[in-house]
């Protein structure tokens, strides 16, 4: 049995967050739960249900990845994915395995409503573990970092 509980979020880039959020609201009854602007970069969480969110970042229209390219396997606008955990114990076990394998340094960033740990898969793709919790959303600047040694 898998320790994870599905996908937490997929991060994409877009040239127009409002257009993208409106599309998912109209078609999927999704709602924006967090809307932040940090260092001039706007990003939102669009709740698609069952703990899964789309996490778009709005890039300047001059950025080549701001709009998906039409060709299969050359679209290039997915940045990373995050795997959801319902149990803190399972999150911790997978964290330990990834650190032991050298895929992560084990640092956790606490964003108030979610704890995130980054890792790289064997192909070098940036991925995350995610554990939702009660709290208020924190910006990157206000988030807290926990090292692996503090666990």
What pLDDT, on a 0 to 100 scale, did the predictor assign at position 134? 94
In a domain, 20, yes or no: yes
Range of the domain at 140: 7-61+80-150
CB neighbours of residue 6 within 10 Å: 12
Rounded Cα–Cα distance for residues 59 and 94 (Å): 32
* CATH classification at residue 90: 3.10.180.10
- Please give the average pLDDT of every successive group of 10 residues along the chain, which has 151 residues: 83 86 86 92 90 87 64 64 89 92 95 93 78 93 87 54
From the list 82, 87, 151, the residue with the least C-alpha distance to 117 is 82
What pLDDT, on a 0 to 100 scale, did the predictor assign at position 149? 73
What pLDDT, on a 0 to 100 scale, did the predictor assign at position 42? 95
Domain count, the chain: 1
Rounded Cα–Cα distance for residues 50 and 29 (Å): 13
What pLDDT, on a 0 to 100 scale, did the predictor assign at position 44? 95
Rounded Cα–Cα distance for residues 98 and 18 (Å): 36
């Amino acid at each position: 049995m898998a320790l994870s509980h599905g996908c937490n979020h997929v991060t994409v880039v877009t040239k127009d967050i409002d257009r993208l959020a409106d599309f998912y609201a109209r078609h999927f009854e999704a709602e924006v739960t967090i809307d932040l602007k940090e260092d001039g970069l706007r990003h939102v969480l669009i709740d698609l249900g069952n703990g899964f969110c789309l996490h778009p970042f709005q890039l300047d229209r001059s950025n080549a990845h701001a709009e998906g390219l039409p060709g299969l396997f050359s679209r290039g606008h997915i940045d990373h994915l995050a795997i959801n955990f319902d149990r803190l114990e399972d999150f911790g076990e997978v964290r330990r395995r990834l650190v032991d394998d050298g895929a992560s340094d084990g640092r956790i960033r606490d964003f108030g409503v979610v704890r995130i740990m980054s890792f790289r898969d064997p192909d070098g793709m940036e991925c995350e573990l995610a554990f939702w919790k009660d709290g208020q959303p924190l910006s990157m600047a206000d988030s807290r970092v926990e090292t692996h040694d503090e666990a």
